[in-house]
């Protein structure tokens, strides 16, 4: 089983992550400082208006300047905010993965990742009606890790690889996996909390070195920078949360 998963991960890397893990450090290093640029702190605030009468969920009550917040509490806060907003978009940038994720919790949870991997190969990943689908340019394939079909195995590995970047529910679980988070005593910008994991942590197949999350004063997610390793592929990905609350329609692809 481990050999099969390793083979699928390598095939996945070629399809999605490209050669990110094989790129010399001096080639990838310039990308990383650009990811946590100040723009990531402020830009989402201008494209994610606070809904009229919006009140942060009770699960976010412990977030205040200088506080230490448990991962389970912070993960629940982010999850509750995204569910309350109902829908939105996550922008992705970094050497491992670039693109946009449209997601909705209404009427059922679904998302669509329109992405580009490390070798500039475009792909689409969906989660609709309880199933993942991957399209690498030759038609959508339903993910099935237990299938004998290699394309279905790769689709399942793709869903696992992309989860910490693109799946809003998985993002909340990833946050919860860090035992503790520190809220900066001083705001990162006007009305912005900078919240960082206190130590490296592990979640499923993901090793996280650093994770910095920025929330608005009403707990609305603005951005995140995550330095992590997935299936042996390491890099930093920046997320920006946009268009929260705006309608999104996601339909299952046709194979």
pLDDT digits (tens, 9 = 90+) for 57-112: 999 999 999 999 999 999 999 999 999 999 999 999 988 789 999 999 988 999 99
pLDDT band at residue 43 using 50, 70 and 90 as cut-offs? very low
Give the distance, in angstroms, between the CA of residue 173 and the centroid of all CA atoms in the same chain: 11
Instruction: Please enumerate in sequence order all residues whose Cβ is within 8 A of that of 27, keeping only pairs 6 or more positions apart, or say none.
Output: none
**What are the residue ranges of helices labelled H in the chain?**
2-12, 25-28, 31-34, 38-47, 71-85, 150-166, 168-176
- Whole-angstrom distance, CA of residue 216 vs CA of residue 199: 23
Q: Which two structure tokens, joined as six digits, stand for 192?
A: 């912005």
Q: Which residues on neighbouring strands pair with residue 113, listed in sequence order?
A: 101, 125
- Whole-angstrom distance, CA of residue 161 vs CA of residue 233: 10
pTM metric for this prediction:
0.79
Side-chain half-sphere CA neighbours of 75 within 13 A: 20
Mean pLDDT of the chain: 81
Burial 176-191 (b: 16+ CB within 10 A, else e): bbbeebebbeeebeee
In the 8-state DSSP scheme, what is residue 165? H
CATH 2.50.20 for domain 2-242 = yes
Are 235 and 95 in contact by the 8 Å Cβ rule? The answer is: yes
């Amino acid at each position: 089983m481990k050999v099969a998963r390793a083979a699928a991960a390598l095939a996945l890397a070629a399809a999605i992550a490209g050669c990110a893990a094989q790129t010399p450090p001096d080639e990838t290093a310039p990308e990383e400082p650009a990811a946590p640029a100040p723009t990531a702190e402020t830009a989402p605030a201008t494209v994610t208006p606070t809904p009229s009468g919006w009140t942060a969920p009770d699960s976010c009550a412990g977030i205040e300047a200088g506080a230490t917040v448990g991962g389970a509490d912070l993960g629940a806060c982010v999850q509750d905010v995204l569910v309350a907003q109902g829908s939105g978009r996550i922008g992705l940038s970094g050497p491992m993965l670039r693109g946009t994720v449209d997601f909705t919790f209404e009427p059922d949870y679904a998302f669509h990742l329109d992405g580009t991997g490390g070798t500039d190969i475009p792909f689409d990943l969906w989660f609709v009606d309880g199933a993942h689908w991957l399209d690498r340019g030759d038609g959508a394939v339903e993910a099935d890790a237990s299938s004998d079909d290699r394309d279905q195995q790769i689709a399942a590995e793709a869903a696992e690889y992309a989860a910490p970047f693109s799946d809003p529910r998985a993002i909340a679980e990833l946050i919860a996996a860090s035992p503790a988070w520190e809220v900066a005593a001083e705001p990162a910008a006007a009305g912005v909390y900078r919240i960082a994991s206190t130590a490296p942590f592990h979640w499923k197949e993901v090793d996280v070195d650093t994770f910095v999350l920025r929330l608005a004063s009403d707990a609305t997610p603005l951005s995140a920078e995550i330095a992590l390793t997935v299936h042996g592929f390491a890099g930093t990905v920046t997320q920006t949360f946009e268009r929260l609350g705006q309608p999104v329609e996601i339909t299952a692809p046709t194979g």
